[in-house]
Chain A
Amino acid sequence: MSVQTAARPSSAGAGTPAPLKFRTPRLRSPRTPGSRRSRRSLALTLLMGLVLLYSLAPLFWLLVNATKTQDGLLNSFGLWFDGDFALWDNIARTATYDGGIFLRWFANTVLYVVLGAGGATFLAVLGGYALAKFDFPGRKAVFAVVIGAVAIPGTALAVPTFLMFSQMGLTNTPWAVIIPSLISPFGLYLMWTFAAEAIPTEIMESARIDGASEARTFFQVCLPLLAPGIVTVLLFTMVATWNNYFLPLIMLKNPDWYPLTLGLNAWNAQAGTAGGEAIFNLVITGSLLTILPLIAAFLLLQRYWQSGLSAGSVKE
């Protein structure tokens, strides 16, 4: 942090930097444990336990039923395990069914997430940084357009986007899913409010005075400060891309390019078609396998994304 120590004297010498929006420092003192606000309440905990039960019971149902055979699904109580434990067998069958198409869907989803959510995060970080730290011509217009765009239903754009992409020959290719995933107005907004608070303008001033280019100032000085915000945006764009259903639904015909969500729905719908084999146990096991990576990511990274969220997202 030699930059930071160098920053203050030089920026003070150069005069006061232009004040930017959202820069009001907030006093935040840790909650003192001895105060009367820390009294725990059993009644409140029990009441919240109801919401907890509501949130977790379906996930428990999924876990329990992923251990059942097709027969067991039909003949045993939904919220408890059946006699024979078929989880490993179900996982093996999910992975190998129909020539291992599930693994292909999994790989597709990973591809869409890496390029789509990764790209969306990168663009949101660059853009949020620009909105927070630069005064450029058209800044207000950019703000108005992007905020307005949030209110436009994604499905209102779907038909024209589909027609446009099909004229460009992009439908039924991964690009049709990846390119629209690159834009996350919510990510841009999060990053903007976060960058406004996390990067002291003085640091940028001093880097410039030391002769750093804008790119160098951004990558070497500012980017490290943005880390918790980046993790937060990345998790939210990851969820959006991993869970996306509508966009691939209209863009993709070939099951080889399906993401997991579309594939699972196709498996489920298979039971309803003439001569289709009902594979509900594989749908359920596949669903469990689909949500595990995201749940793991949220649990492992919770410290980072929660600090990123409360530091930036929803302050007025």
Chain B
Amino acid sequence: MTMTSPQVVPRAGAAGPAGRTSRRASRRSWAGWWFIGPFMAVFALVFLAPIAYSIYLSVFRNQLIGGTAFVGLDNYARALGDPQFWSALGRVSLFLAVQVPVMLMIALVVALALDSGRLYGKSFFRISIFLPYAVPAVVATLMWGFMYGTRFGLVGNINQAFGLNLPSPLSSELVLASIGNIVTWEFIGYNMLIFYSALTVIPKSLYEAAEIDGAGQLRVIAAIKLPAIRGAIVVATIFSVIGSFQLFNEPSILKSLSPNTISTYFTPNLYAFSLSFSGQQYNYSATVAIIMGLITMAIAYAVQVRGMRKER
């Protein structure tokens, strides 16, 4: 930031702590609502109202005979006993457990490498590794999907050129890993940028102190850099957890390239989507979505609490 050189404002001696609090109280006004108001109005329409409506939907059932009836928590009970829901949840949990750590580790290593000042062509690295983030999930999935394919894909090419028989990445055993690869490709750069921005604002005096103490690069990373960017790591982990539980675009688009390996309940979101838009089961679909929302929030909250607790 070039515009905000930290300036020292001369403090008037008269303003003691008591004066300060009274000033603050008198400043408390509704003026801020002129600025936050428009955001909150649209927010209420596209966030709060749908959430409320979703909860309303989840306690009703649309029956062929008798129309809509209040059923209490029946839809929730049904979801908890629904093997398709559990299979979808298990799949994204496995995905989460493998893909998120791999992606964040690579992103962290790249960010630390950029920050170490030991790379040739640093800005070229930074912008190039970030570029996949600008690619829509649709394009990323189509692109990787073609490459995975055996017809004009790279796997087919390699098999042909070397007489190998590599398994198809779109086979039912590998398709989840293949999706993981697409998501990793899309978001390494984004996470790297989050980590890197956090690293650049670490006060340089800390490094100087470490240098005087004779700390090596790895020691500086372990003792200064990682603790300093813990907040950014927690934020990136939370975003990634939310993203994994919301997995939809990649499997839904790959489905058209590989219809037999990706079911309509491959992920919870895909399941909720198919329930509403192919099955017209809006009430049950809303229930599945709410359960996923609750699970997501619980895990995001747990990550946050755990991440922040270690700090102190």
Contacts from A to B (Cβ < 8 Å): 8, 11-16, 18, 25-29, 31, 35-42, 44-45, 47-48, 51-52, 54-56, 58-59, 61-62, 65, 73-74, 77-79, 123-124, 126-127, 129-131, 133-139, 142, 145-146, 148-164, 179-180, 182-183, 188, 197-198, 200, 202, 214-215, 218, 225, 228, 239, 242-243, 245-246, 250, 260-262, 264-265, 268-269, 272, 280, 283-284, 287, 290-291, 294-295, 297-299, 302, 306-307, 309-311, 313-316
Contacts and interface: CB of A to CB of B under 8 A. Distances in A.
A218 B194 CA distance: 29
Contacts of B161: 77
Given A130-B36, A268-B256, A159 B144 contact: no
A123 B42 contact: yes
Interface stretch (B67-75, B132-140, B170-178): B132-140
A75 to B, nearest CB: 8
Contact of A310 (B11, B200, B293): B200
A312 B136 CA distance: 25
B20 A16 contact: yes
A231 to B, nearest CB: 13
28 contacts: A12-B10, A26-B6, A26-B201, A26-B203, A27-B6, A28-B204, A56-B131, A73-B152, A123-B39, A126-B36, A127-B35, A130-B34, A134-B36, A136-B28, A149-B43, A150-B242, A156-B272, A157-B51, A158-B289, A179-B45, A182-B42, A200-B9, A225-B3, A225-B4, A261-B138, A291-B136, A298-B131, A316-B232
A16 B12 contact: yes
B225 to A, nearest CB: 12
Given A40-B120, A61-B147, A311 B54 contact: no
B201 A45 contact: no
A268 B142 contact: yes
Interface in B150-201: 151-154, 157, 161, 185, 188-189, 193-194, 196-198, 200-201
A136 B146 contact: no
Nearest to A271: B256
A264 B49 CA distance: 32
Contacts of A124: 39
Interface residues of A: mostly helix, strand, loop or mixed? helix
Q: Which of B147, B193, B197 has the most CB of A within 10 A?
A: B197
A152 B293 contact: yes
Interface of B: 1-4, 6-7, 9-12, 14-15, 19-20, 23-24, 27-36, 38-40, 42-43, 45-51, 53-54, 57, 106, 110, 113, 116-121, 125, 127-140, 142-144, 146-147, 151-154, 157, 161, 185, 188-189, 193-194, 196-198, 200-201, 203-205, 207, 211, 229-232, 235, 238, 242, 245-246, 248-249, 253, 256-257, 259, 269, 272-273, 276-277, 282, 285-286, 289-290, 292-293, 296-297, 300-301
Given A40-B120, A130-B33, A130-B36, A11 B142 contact: no
B58 to A, nearest CB: 10
A299 B157 CA distance: 33
A242 B136 CA distance: 8
Contacts of B6: 25-27
Given A52-B128, A137-B30, A182-B46, A11 B235 contact: no
B72 to A, nearest CB: 19
B48 to A, nearest CB: 8
Given A15-B15, A287-B142, A153 B292 contact: yes
Nearest to A43: B118
A151 B47 CA distance: 12
Contacts of B19: 15
A31 to B, nearest CB: 6
A164 B203 contact: no
Contacts of B282: 159, 163
Nearest to B257: A268
Give the 3 A-B CB pairs with smallest separation, nearest first: A134-B32, A25-B6, A136-B32
